[in-house]
Amino acid sequence: MILKEVRGHKPQFGKDCFLAENSVIVGEVSMGNQCSIWYNAVLRGDVHYIKMGNKVNIQDGAVVHATFEKSPTTIGNNVSVGHNAIVHGCTIKDNVLVGMGAIVMDDCVVESNSIIAAGAVVAKGTHIKSGSVYAGVPAKKIKDISEELLTGEIHRIAENYIKYAGWFKEE
């Protein structure tokens, strides 16, 4: 993996985190416990900070960045950022699934217990209310989240990624 200090800031990690060998984590990036950063994922805290809570998984090929001196990125607890997604200069609260290939732009707020569908583009400044499912380009609310989606997708995926990370730590 590439871990690099930028502008006097080094990445900071909680306990029991998994960092894939070819992940890139640079600058002012902090993460809580049981996080996993997967293959080819890039977290660039060079132009502003990236703060992540506990049980966050940044899946293969995803990019997390921010906007210089304007829009940091904050990610809560129990969040999954799907393969090849882009999370940029926004706030994502707890229990959120950002689907594969989705893009969440600057100054967006994604409230807790929400899903951004695969391939969705959440336009700059969008505020996604708690319990919503957003899809499309540009992303729009398509329905309220069900208990089935909350437990069967959001919680299941976050917990599975803790399990998957354990497989790689055993080697």
Find, among 108, 106, 117, the residue nearest to 139 by Cα.
Answer: 117
Residue pair 97/108 in contact (Cβ under 8 Å)? The answer is no
Instruction: Give residue-wise pLDDT tens across range 106-161.
Output: 999 999 999 999 999 999 999 999 999 999 999 999 999 998 888 888 999 999 99
Query: Long-range contacts: 105-110, Cβ < 8 Å, 24+?
Result: 106/67, 106/70, 106/71, 107/71
pLDDT at residue 151, as a whole number: 87
Residue pair 53/79 in contact (Cβ under 8 Å)? The answer is yes
- All structural domains of the chain, each given as residue ranges with its CATH number in brackets, are 2-169 (2.160.10.10)
Separation of alpha carbons 145 and 53, rounded Å: 22
**Which pTM was predicted?**
0.95
